[in-house]
Amino acid sequence: MKPIITKEKAIADKVGPIDIVRALPSDLTPRVGPIIFLDHILEKNLLPGEFSAPNGSFAHPHRGIATFTYLLKGELIHFDSNGGYGRVKAGGVQWMNAGNGVIHDEVIPEEFRVSGGAFYGFQFWVNLPAEIKEQAPDYMPVQAEELPLIQLADGQATLKVLLGEYGGKSSPIPAFTQQFIWHIKLSGKASIELKTLEGLEYGGYLPNGNALFNDIEISARELVVFDSNDTGITISNKANKELEILLFGGEPYEEKIVSHGPFVMNTVEEIGQAYEDFRSGKYGKIDYQITGEI
């Protein structure tokens, strides 16, 4: 079995009124493969009127990464300054390639703002190869039914392929290197063994509940990173209730990484250019009226 290199508790934080737990980057782990950021958006029952209509105050720029928002409960509307728009329901993904610069906003739909409801999910940042950082931005909304769902362990587990592939099943979301994000659900008292590939980096995160990863006990809201040999990962659920697991990673990112705020580039000079282009208006503006929904 793959040895565990590190395990550490994620750090609680807040983004506006939303409570989060930040698993990546951490003190011991700056990234796993091309995955450089993971926020666990804690489940929250939104109160009627808690969120106002979008006014641009949450809109912010990115460059050099792909943002990847996986929604478990609720709905989200995406707007960006490149004309990207989409509405994703629970179980779906908002994917945006920031490329050479874009401003985006993720908005709670009006009916949820009025009536309230449960909201819960995760956001990843995927670092882009240098050549992709220079390309125009792109956006893709993917609904739950478009993502492959694989039965494992004689029906005692499912693996949802959010990014990359597993067992010959691939996500429709673009992947510019070998990279993956899997959402696993494991029945109570069940175990699974997952195939791994030599040379890829593997990380895991437990949103809730405890489990054994390769016979090492992992607690809720802990990040684990595995050695890169190819001997597989075994996960055992010792509780009676269903367990959720995120596994993610990919091939090591070999290019130099320089990050500052919402920008992740390859040199200090490129970071400076990213800020200069943003401040000069080159990323454009968001049109919130393009759909008539807001």
Mean pLDDT of 70-83: 96
pLDDT, tens only, 21-38: 999 999 999 999 999 999
Residue type at position 202: Y
Give residue 292's pLDDT.
Answer: 54
User: Which residue would you say has higher pLDDT here, 47 or 186?
Assistant: 186
Q: Give CA separation, 230 vs 184, 226, 233, in Å.
A: 20, 10, 9
Interatomic CA distance for residues 97 and 133, integer angstroms: 9
Mean pLDDT of 152-181: 97
Give residue 51's pLDDT.
Answer: 81
Give residue 291's pLDDT.
Answer: 66
3-class DSSP assignment, residue 163? strand
Kindly list the strands in the beta sheet with 60-62, ordered across the sheet, starting from the edge strand earlier in the chain: 60-62, 102-107, 75-80, 85-89
Contacts of 289 (CB under 8 A, 6+ apart): none
**Which of 32-36, 160-164, 286-290 has the least mean pLDDT?**
286-290
User: Which residue would you say has higher pLDDT here, 157 or 292?
Assistant: 157
Evaluate if residue 54 carries a pLDDT over 80.
no
35 contacts 64 by C-beta, under 8 angstroms: no
pLDDT, tens only, 119-149: 999 999 999 999 999 999 999 999 999 999 9
pLDDT grade, residue 206 (50/70/90)? very high
Contacts of 211 (CB under 8 A, 6+ apart): 186, 217, 218, 235, 236, 237, 238, 243, 245
Find how far residue 155's CA is from the centre of its chain: 26
Q: Which domains does the chain have, with CATH numbers?
A: 8-51+60-250 (2.60.120.10)
Give residue 55's pLDDT.
Answer: 80
pLDDT, tens only, 90-125: 999 999 999 999 999 999 998 888 998 999 999 999
pLDDT grade, residue 71 (50/70/90)? very high
Written as six digits, the tokens of 292 are 């008539």
Evaluate if residue 73 carries a pLDDT over 60.
yes
Evaluate if residue 294 carries a pLDDT over 70.
no
3-class DSSP assignment, residue 111? helix
pLDDT, tens only, 235-257: 999 999 999 999 999 999 999 99
Long-range contacts of 208-214 (CB under 8 A, 24+ apart): 208/243, 208/244, 209/237, 209/239, 209/241, 209/243, 209/244, 210/238, 210/239, 211/186, 211/235, 211/236, 211/237, 211/238, 211/243, 211/245, 212/236, 212/238, 213/4, 214/1, 214/2, 214/3, 214/4
User: Which residue would you say has higher pLDDT here, 46 or 69?
Assistant: 69
Give residue 293's pLDDT.
Answer: 58
Give residue 17's pLDDT.
Answer: 76
